[in-house]
Every structure is written in C-alpha cells, then in structure tokens.
Amino acid sequence: MFATRGRPIIGSGALLLSLVLCMSACSGDKAHEQAQVRAAPTAAEADAFVAGVNDDYREQLPYYSAAQWAQATYITEDTQLLASRANEAWLEYLSRKVQESKRFNDVDASDDTERAILLLKLSTANPAPSDPDKRAELARILSKMEANYGAGKWCRSEGDCLSLPAIEKIVNDPTATPEARAKAWLGWHETAKPIREDYVRFTELVNQGARELGFADLGEMWRAGYDMSPAAFEAEVERLWQQVSPLYEALHCHVRAKLNARHGDAVVPKDGLIPAHLLGNMWAQQWSNIYPLVEPYPGVGSLDVTAALKKQRDAEYKRLLAAFDGRPTPLDLAELEHAADAAMAVRMTRIAEDFYTSLGFPKLPESFWERSLLVKPRDREVVCHASAWDMNMQGDVRIKQCIEPDEEQLTTIHHELGHIYYYLMYNGLPPIFQAAAHDGFHEAIGDVITLSLTPEHLAKIGLVPPQKADDKALINAQMKWALDKITFLPWGKLVDQWRWKVFAGEIKPADYNAGWWDLRARYQGVSPPVPRSEADFDPGAKYHIPGNTPYTRYFLSFILQFQMHKALCAAAGHVGPLHTCNIYGNEEAGKRFMDMLAQGASRPWQETLEKLTGTRQMDGSALIEYFEPLLGYLKEQNDGLSCGWDGAKR
C-alpha cells in the first residue's frame, strides 16, 4: 500500500550524481567533527542539528524520491542502478546523521528536539551498516529484490507470460477450477525463488545496521517506533489480536463449511486448514472475491459494484470507438482499449476525491493528475503494487496503481488517497515530523473513509441499485465487508511475526518456508495448494517482503479504522447502529479528522489518538460492535460444526 515516504521521474543521471556528490561533500572536515565531539554539546547545538537535518530533508529527498519513482514506474537495469545509488547515498546520510545525533543523548533539549532525534534514529526500515561496502551491498540487494517482484512473470508456455495482475485474475475467480487456480498461484510464487539467498544476506546486513544503533536486531528496532518499549508493543499487538480473533474464527468456520460443500472433503476438509488458493486472493489475505459462494441470502440487495464499474468502462470504450475517424487497425483498437482503461481510472479516482472534498478536504493538486500513474502502461514494466508518494514534502503527491474497473480497486483508491491527504495535512510541519502518529495511523486513514461506503452511499453514486431496509440485505452487506475486514486480521499480524522471528534468528534460513507456513496455519488456518519445500521462498511473493515495508501497521490500521470511524460518527451526530453511519458531506467530522492528521508525528500517538477519540489506547471493541449483526448470524450457522483447526492459537 503506501511507499514509506514518497519515492519519486528522473530524466538523467545528473540529478542523482549531484545527490551523491552532495552526500560526500556534506560530511565536512573530520578534524572539525572530532573537535565538536570533545566539546560538551548544548541544547542550542541540538536545536541547530535538528534544523540542519530538516533542511537536508527538504533539499535531498526529492532527488532520492525521483530515483525510486523512476525504478517503480520504468523497470530497467539503468533505473535499478540509479535507484540503488540514490538509496546507498540516502542510507549513508541517515547513518551519518544518526551517529552524529548520539552527541546529544545526554543534553537537556526541548521536547520537540528530543522527539525529532528519536524519530531520526527510527526513520528507516533499512538501517545500513557503517561500512561503506556493506551499505552499497544493501542498496543493491534492495533494488534487486524490488525489481524482481515488479518484473515477475508466470510463463505458461513460450510466448504466453502473465504478470501479477493477470495471474491474480485467475486466482481471484471463484468460478475457475481449483486446479487452474492452484497453477496460477504456483506460477506467481515461483517468481520469488531467485531472491531467497538475497534475503538471507539482506537480513544479515540490516541486523548489523540495527545493532550499530543499539538494537538487538531489526525487528526490535521496528517495534521501538511506537512510543513504548519494544516488549510492551509486542504485548499490545497480541492483546489486540486476542480481542478480535473470535470474529475471525467464526468466519473461518463458516467459509470452510461453504467451500467444503462446494468442493468436497478431498479438496477442503471439514475440520482442517483451508487451501489458500480457494479464498479468492493470491495471499488469502482478503476473501471478498468469493462472496458469491458464501452470500447468505442470494440475490437480496444487489452489491455488485464491479459489474457497474465494468459497464461504465465498456461504455467509455464504445464512445471512443464511435468517435474514431476511419477504420481502426488492431493497434488502434489496443490504443482505444488502453484509453478507455485510463479514462475509467481517472473517473474512479475522482469518485474517491469527491468523498474527501465533501468533508472539507482540499481538491487534489493538478500535479497529482499530471504525474500519477493510474493505469499500467502498454510499453514497459512497472511495479503495479498500489502506493502513495510524497515526492518533495511540499505538495508534489502522487499515487502509483494499475487501476482496473472493480470494487477492490475502487476501495484501494480510497485507501491510497488517505495517505495522500495525510501528506497534504502535515506538509506544514518540519520534515522530521512529516509522518504518521504511528505507521498504523497512515494505513487507517483511507480505510476510515471506506467504512462509509455503505450500500446506501453506493446507491447514491450510482454503483448499485437503490437499497431497501432489509435484515437479509444487511447480513449480505456485512458478510461482504467481513470478507475484507475480518479476514485480514491474522494476515496483518503474521507477516511481521515471521520477519521478527527471522531477524531474531528464531527462524533460520534453512527453515524460512516452513516457518512461514507454520505461522499461516496457526493464525490464518490455511495451507498451501501444493507441497512446498525450502527450495521455495513463498514470503517473497508478497511485495512487502522484498520491498521491506513493515506490516504490523496494517493490522493496527484495521483496529484503528473502526475506532476512528466511531469517533467521527459521533462528531457527525450519527444516531443508530455503527454499521449504518456514513460521514459523507459532514464538515464537522472532516474538521476533526483534518485536525488530527495535521499533527503528523509531532506528538506521541497516544495524544493524537486522544485528540480524535477521547482515549489513549487502541481498542478493537468498535470493530466488534460494527459486525454485531453478522456475528449473530455466524453463531447460528456454525451451530453443530467443528470450528477451529489444529495449531490454532487459543
């Protein structure tokens, strides 16, 4: 989802070379630095140090972002080289500034300065070793792993190769045979094999970088970024999981029974793990694509948003074709298809923008529309994984997403614009504070908006027929939403559970894949569709592993979004069940929302959360409240079934 700090296109190597030269020149005279170390630092010097870092961010990050954007939107060996060199230079800069910041560890500085220095130390997910050769090696590995993911293809035969979006269409299709979906699943997971050894070396390098900063390993460093001790944070994540896990277990039990009835005991056991490829998602992280198979009351309350979007897209294509002057060639037809896709991508993004502006948020800047990548280009490879980018910390914001006309993509656009508006709201802060209260906040913002995409709202904007108040329609709507929101919870937790264990040495390289599937069985209750071995590297088939984006943020966001939604509904004066609330058009809720976002990372997240919700603790009770109607239905449906699975955490 969001690319940590934006990663901006670079026209030539000159910009990047200037960055590298600047990084070198900025190191200063070593003798002068040694003299500074000998002198007792003062609070004023600490303030000046932070001010200098903020100035550096404003000056240098646009170049780094440009190199990363180029690689993500135009995958070649050249852009990989440019991105690698930019990454190396940025890692060197951060490492050097973190080392310099240690001078002020015992200085009685202002709260803002102390917080800025702490955030500086935690500002990268990829702490680099101080050794320049190892730092360069880390940068090369990071670029290689991300490029491998972006260029990955499954070749069914010579000349018949599919990239991820096309492969996902097969896995996501509940009408495809289990065998066809298993082949597509395997085809994509095979693409991760080449980076298995790279990941081993990557782990060694980032762990060394984390140890140089005083942490036991990279996992402990990541867990230190939440205004509490790493141990306390780990316990907090487990507490939240225990709070909401009964919802997942009830849904898992019901879905397994439905799949068993369709496919039989030989494919889906009545009381065991669900084969991951049958859940309508490459990673079985969200199951909304199998809604037609588990719809509680077939045909009650039409919620087929995808069909409406595809109809609009086809109408756009017919309009373009009718306006074409002359008899189109096959190449012309392909261009018209692409133009229709692009027009539909803009239309869907405008739908999402409209929701934010209805709350009082500003319109997106024109540069957003000029510079974003909204549809997969026909002429080159790109990383299609959706992400939001803040290119210069001053309003150059973009998203990168290969948008297709379906409901999942529309929801994702709302999510990505949440990042974009968070950037815009805190762009007035000093650069070090231009971040979320904690990373889970950044992931929650757009999803808070999606909770107002109620059936009534979707009908209002013409994507589903007018909805009648009906208990059966309500259960259908809740089931569809639960297949997105509840099913994600264990996945959101386990991805970093695996990495924390890898970084800590609890899962050795010889057990990478076994450790991955052990956790997936324990938390998700799923199994691989085909036998796996340590020749495979299935974690690497998920972008956030080669991209090294921390993942617990997403788990937290799925807790926070319901908690924030409840607070915004209260601000909007909503009366009635939480699941019926729609804040569209309510400027009071929008003002409360924007006020919270504008704080960025300037204060501990507990204060920021309290500003909106009145409480300083994350809490899953709003999520449980939201799905109360569905939970009652599931309890009835699961009566007499054997729920749970071997290895499930109780």
Instruction: Give the active site residue among 276, 386, 388, 622.
Output: 386
- Residue 370 inside a domain? The answer is yes
- Residue 52 inside a domain? The answer is yes
Contacts 24+ apart (CB under 8 A), 296-302: 296/472, 296/475, 296/476, 296/479, 296/633, 297/472, 297/473, 297/475, 297/476, 300/470, 300/472, 300/473, 300/476, 301/455, 301/467, 301/468, 301/470, 301/472, 301/473, 301/474, 301/476, 301/477, 302/464, 302/465
Residue 647 — pLDDT band, cuts 50, 70, 90?
Answer: low
Question: So what's the pLDDT on residue 466?
Answer: 86
Locus of tokens 């802060």: 429
Active site residue 626: no
- Residue 409 inside a domain? The answer is no
Q: Can you tell me whether residue 163 is helix, strand or coil? A: strand
**Which stretch of 8-12, 404-408, 417-421, 513-517 has the lowest confidence by average pLDDT?**
8-12
Residue 67 — pLDDT band, cuts 50, 70, 90?
Answer: very high
* Spatial separation of the C-alpha atoms in residues 440 and 419, rounded to whole Å: 11
Active site residue 220: no
- Residue 19 inside a domain? The answer is yes
Active site residue 254: no
- Residue 491 inside a domain? The answer is no
Question: So what's the pLDDT on residue 16?
Answer: 32
Q: Is the pLDDT of residue 583 over 80?
A: yes
Active site residue 565: no
The reported pTM is 0.86
Instruction: Give the active site residue among 414, 415, 442, 579.
Output: 415
86, 121, 152 - which closes a domain: 152
Active site residue 386: yes
- Residue 106 inside a domain? The answer is yes
Active site residue 456: no
Instruction: Give the active site residue among 254, 414, 544, 565.
Output: 544
Question: So what's the pLDDT on residue 34?
Answer: 53
359, 376, 404 - which closes a domain: 404
Instruction: Give the active site residue among 443, 473, 589, 633.
Output: 443
Q: What is the mean pLDDT of the chain?
A: 91
What is the extent of the structural domain holding 380? 303-404
pLDDT per position as a tens digit, 549-580? 999 999 999 999 999 999 999 999 999 999 99
- Residue 546 inside a domain? The answer is no
- Give the residue, 14 or 107, on which the prediction is more confident: 107
- Which residues fall within 8 angstroms of residue 593, CB to CB, at 6 or more apart? 359, 448, 564, 568, 612
Q: Is the pLDDT of residue 149 over 70?
A: yes
- Residue 624 inside a domain? The answer is no
Question: So what's the pLDDT on residue 102?
Answer: 87
Instruction: Give the active site residue among 57, 199, 423, 554.
Output: 554
Question: So what's the pLDDT on residue 213?
Answer: 87
Residue 385 — pLDDT band, cuts 50, 70, 90?
Answer: confident
Q: Is the pLDDT of residue 209 over 90?
A: yes
152, 177, 192 - which closes a domain: 152
Question: So what's the pLDDT on residue 5?
Answer: 32
Active site residue 337: no
pLDDT per position as a tens digit, 598-620? 999 999 999 999 999 999 999 99
Instruction: Give the active site residue among 64, 416, 523, 541.
Output: 416
Active site residue 295: no
* Spatial separation of the C-alpha atoms in residues 448 and 596, rounded to whole Å: 13
Question: So what's the pLDDT on residue 551?
Answer: 96
- The tally of domains found in the chain comes to 2
Instruction: Give the active site residue among 189, 252, 414, 419.
Output: 419
Instruction: Give the active site residue among 385, 442, 565, 579.
Output: 385
